[in-house]
Amino acid sequence: MRVFAAALVCAPLLLAGTLPAAAQSGSGSTDRDSYTKQAEDQVQLWKQKLGDAGDKAASTGKDVGQKAAATGKDAGDAADKHLKQAWHKTQEAADKLQTAGGKGWDSAKAAYERASSDLARTWNKIHSD
């Protein structure tokens, strides 16, 4: 199970590492389009991953005793809130990549990279076991 969890955590990070390299391979709309497509793919992976984690949490939560569930509920709620915020920021930043103009492209790209990195860090904090 830990190998599977490690694979889930590492895959998006590896993909995130490929995004800047694709964008640096040259200048022009082809590189921008390629970067944007890779960002879209990464967002879809995160969407699936977050959905799968939510499904798993819902199914395992039924098996936890009431006292243990109450104890971990506040911590879980706070972590869930941070994860949702990071996910929302990543989605917004990815959307801005689609509409960014010439001068705004570098800023939109940097914002997406920060948001995506924050999402990965938040995920890793929550799913560190």
Return phi, psi of residue 101, to 5°: -80, 180
pLDDT tier at 77, thresholds 50, 70, 90: confident
* pLDDT tens-digit series, residues 10-66: 445 444 444 444 444 445 677 888 999 999 999 999 888 888 777 666 665 544 444
Highest mean pLDDT among 56-60, 80-84, 96-100, 115-119: 115-119
pTM of the entire structure?
Answer: 0.65
In angstroms, the CA 77 to CA 100 distance is: 34
For the chain, which residues make up each domain, given as ranges?
2-49+76-126
Residue type, 7: A
